[in-house]
Amino acid sequence: MDEPADSIGALIDARARECGTRTALIEPDGDSLDYASLRERVRAVAASLMAQGLTSGDSVGFAMGNGIDAVLAVLGIQYAGLRAVAVNLMAGRDVIGYVLAHSDARRIIVQAATREAIAGALACEAFKDAARGDPPVLIELDRAAAVTHGTDAAVPIARGADALLMYTSGTTGRPKGVRLSHANLLAGGRNTATGHGLSETDRALCTLPLYHINGLCVTLYGPLVSAGSVVLPSRFSASRFWSWAETFGCTWFSVVPTQVAYLLHDEQRIEPPTGLRFGRSASAPLSPDVHRAFEKRFGVPLVETMGLTETAAQITTNPMPPGKGRIGSAGRSHGCELRIGSPADSGEGEIQIRGDNVMQGYLHNETATREAFSEDGWLRTGDLGRLDDDGFVFVTGRLKELIIKGGENIAPREIDEALHAHPDVLEAAAFGVPCVDYGERVEAAVVAVPGRTLDVVELLALCEQRLGRFKRPDRVHLVDELPKGPSGKIQRRRCAELCAG
């Protein structure tokens, strides 16, 4: 399946022209839009922005919860030839303030529910310290606006022009702004559509925020490329998830491992809709025990994949049913090239990527951009992994997260998976802590399934049984939640900092 356009705007035009009466977007408790109406509303947003004196390449932020308005905002920005800046609503005030300053945003599209938080971020010191010009103006969408400006087609846009600026979690410093072009986003949508065999009859259930690369590229651009449709609840709900899928005839969904765990441990009796072809899990490794338990309970095939913000989401996928995937593997590369850089004798090394989906670079950060690529032009993901004889990728950890105890490398994921084998563990994250005797010792933070109680002694015994005494955590911390970045990845360094107290 090839994308029929050179820009997001041109793709929207093509969809309205070819299948204008087909449903594109659905809000469970609100409206729906077909492709012709989607184009009309997107053009209205674009026209409004252009009428405000914005010029090609200017940055416009969107700070909105999921729903049709959020889709109109991001697509309208891109249709006008502007750069959409995704604002992570779960980030703290200072992080949001820094992002809005660093991105050079001239306008921020907000909702009544987000206006106060964004205004507070613009008033904080982090914004003032990083700002290079006047503060951006906050605006809201007018759903009733008519198209009064513009032309009958999208603004001509080069495939390499920036379409999206999405910030990484910044676990080791300030967040980095990932520049993704129209070509990158089209490639990301195409990789999802072809990797999962999506067609115009497929309907996605999107429960990840659109400021998340998975939510945006996978469950918005994937259906846009395949001429399918999307159901957009305002937020994830384990208790309503399956009823949404059944009521609106969803055929697939994309989630992160935390959501998989919540669905698995939700105690209501569930009969998943028979029309669901598959679910996909990405953004962080999925515990094999959790994977098997999910499929056994719900009977819905769960396809594990891998993606990054820097690659417009998906880079690998397991085979689609009835093909057989490999539990514990992120699948094979799809739509891009993948290699293991400088593999050790074990075959393990850094996972590196090359393809049309790979970012343009980091905004205002030439050093970080240069360091992100190998000398021969491959993106360095920072993930450690190995390939088996059939090309399946097994992610073994992060370069900067390995625990080195007594000179031996320990992958935190080994400990995570041992802890996930306990039926009352919802989430787990192992990390290294400085130690006089061994250099580092192993500790872990664990979240219990709601309503359950965990016994630390029992967890330690489980880890020792599975991993041996050397790799067993020296200490397990019971916590209410684990810190995560915008892509859903657990931030192990922050776990260590929080547990140190």
Structure confidence at residue 501 as a pLDDT band (50, 70, 90): low
Condensed to tens digits (0 to 9), the pLDDT of residues 148-173 reads 444 456 668 888 999 999 998 654 56
- Dihedral sign (CA 302, 304, 310, 313): negative
- Residue 52 and residue 94 in one domain: yes
**Does any domain span residue 28?**
no
Give the helix ranges, DSSP H, for 299-388. Answer: 366-371
Condensed to tens digits (0 to 9), the pLDDT of residues 299-308 reads 999 999 999 9
- Residue 236 and residue 117 in one domain: no
- Type and span of the H or E element at 383: strand 379-387
**Does any domain span residue 375?**
yes
Domain tally, the chain: 3
∠ CA 241-208-109, rounded to 5°? 125
Domain span at 143:
8-21+35-181
Mean pLDDT of 312-338: 96
The predicted structure's pLDDT at residue 150: 44
Q: How far apart are CA 134 and CA 449, in angstroms?
A: 47
* Cis amide prior to 28 (ω within 30 degrees): no
For residue 170, the Cα-to-chain-centroid distance in whole angstroms is: 15
CATH number at residue 15: 3.40.50.12780
The predicted structure's pLDDT at residue 425: 96
Domain C-terminal end among 118, 149, 181: 181
| pLDDT at residue 146 is higher than 50 | no
- Residue 332 and residue 436 in one domain: no
Residues 6+ apart with CB under 8 A from 71: 25, 38, 210, 220, 230, 232
Total Cβ atoms within 10 A of residue 489: 19
